[in-house]
Amino acid sequence: MLEIRNLSVTYPDGTPALQNLSISLGTREVLGIIGESGSGKSTLALAIMRLLPPDANVKGEIIYNGKDILRLSKSELERVRGTEIAMIFQDALSAFDPLMRVGPQIVEKAVTNKTLGYKEARARAIDLMRGLGVTNPEARFDAYPHELSGGLRQRAFIAMGLFQKPKIIILDEPTSALDVITQAQLIQTIRGLKEGGLSMIFITHDIALASTICDRVAVLYAGKMMEYGSVHQVIHRPIHPYTQGLIESTPTLTSVRRGLKAMKGYLPNLKSLPGGCRFHPRCPFATDICRSVDPELAELSDGRLVACHMAADSK
């Protein structure tokens, strides 16, 4: 459905936020993008929505419906946004204009474009909110954003994203601002959307969360894809040392008792990446070749892609 080819993004200050990323999203698929803060996962979402600052250097192609999103005209872009590809981000409170009631903001775009009258739009928005688990949606429709709880706000925000029936929805850490219970409920809702036939890109730093809803997962590190494969491959049998480290540092009931294993070191400064493999200063298995040659993404026998010298050897 959506195919990203050789996407590189460099910010005007010279920061290479994404390097040579190729990834694709199938119909009715949920693609997880996992990485630490600063790994480039949000940059990817912004690039797909064409929200990067105009002076950022963007190379590559993002093909949707046979057309390159990066080369769409302004009016074509306005048509694609919202009706074809929608995006939900982390903080639903700031996603609503504080001066307007929630409902009118959900239906705003469709009503200004005269695709729907206000009454039909209101009825549809209320149905949609009810379907997303908003209790008493008629009252919420006329409420101001600050009058809703965090979970309700996030659901209302998802309703806003879904209102124009997009084919793809990008979820940029949609549950990070919520408590665990609300988070679990929202994940149920998102699973329901997947059953409903929506394709999704799910951006998160929470590997456990990704494993519960994604079909395929890409792990980003410092702007580069490190491992890419099915959830089963990447999360249950990780090969790249970075993915392994991420999973080992995720608390589970048993690991807490054993003591968490933290990954040593920090994400490198993107402007002065270490030579060779960008992960080698933190990698427990680093050898001489890792310090001098940047590994290519290579396909393993089980079909996954891994950028690691050690993985290629064990093939």
Helix locations, the chain, DSSP H: 41-48, 74-83, 102-112, 118-131, 137-141, 150-162, 180-195, 207-213, 231, 241-248, 253-258, 288-292, 309-313
Tell me how long the chain is: 315
Given the complex with another protein, which of 61 and 108 has the nearer CB atom?
108
Among 31, 33, 44, 95, binds another protein (CB under 8 A): 95
If one asks whether residue 87 binds another protein (CB under 8 A), the answer comes out as: yes
Q: Taking CB under 8 A as the rule, does residue 44 contact another protein?
A: no
Does residue 65 bind another protein (CB under 8 A)? no
Name which of 109 and 280 has its Cβ closer to another protein: 109
Stretch that binds another protein, among 92-100, 229-237, 247-255, 300-308 (CB under 8 A): 92-100
Cβ atoms of residues 221 and 35 within 8 Å:
yes
Task: Give Cβ neighbours of residue 270 (< 8 Å, ≥ 6 apart).
Answer: 15, 16, 17, 38, 222, 223
CA atoms of 280 and 278, how far apart (whole Å): 6
Alpha-carbon distances of 118 from 104, 109, 144, 145, 266, rounded to whole Å? 9, 11, 18, 20, 51
* Shorter beta-carbon distance to another protein: residue 85 or 283: 85
d(CA 238, CA 306): 10
| Residues in region 133-192 near another protein by CB under 8 A | 157, 160-161, 164
Q: Select the span of 72-80, 123-131, 230-238, 268-276 touching another protein (CB under 8 A).
A: 72-80
Binding-residue pattern over the window 246 to 285 for another protein, x denoting contact by CB under 8 A: ----------------------------------------
The dihedrals phi and psi of 169, each to the nearest 5 degrees, come to -130, 130
Shortest distance, position 72 Cβ to another protein, whole Å: 12
Q: Please, which residue, 160 or 247, has the CB nearer to another protein?
A: 160
Tell whether residue 96 is a contact of another protein (CB under 8 A). Answer: yes
Check residue 82 for interaction with another protein (CB under 8 A).
yes
Helix (H) or strand (E) holding 226: strand 224-230
**From candidates 66, 99, 251, 284, binder to another protein by CB under 8 A:** 99
Q: Is 116 in the site for another protein (CB under 8 A)?
A: no
In the DSSP assignment, the letter for residue 295 is P
CB of 156 to another protein, least distance (A): 11
If one asks whether residue 78 binds another protein (CB under 8 A), the answer comes out as yes
Residue 200 belongs to what H/E stretch? strand 199-204
Smallest distance from the beta carbon of 177 to another protein, in angstroms? 11
Residues 6+ apart with CB under 8 A from 45: 33, 87, 170, 172, 201, 203
Interacting residue ranges for another protein, rule: CB under 8 A = 49, 51, 54-55, 78-83, 86-87, 89, 91, 94-100, 105, 108-109, 112, 157, 160-161, 164
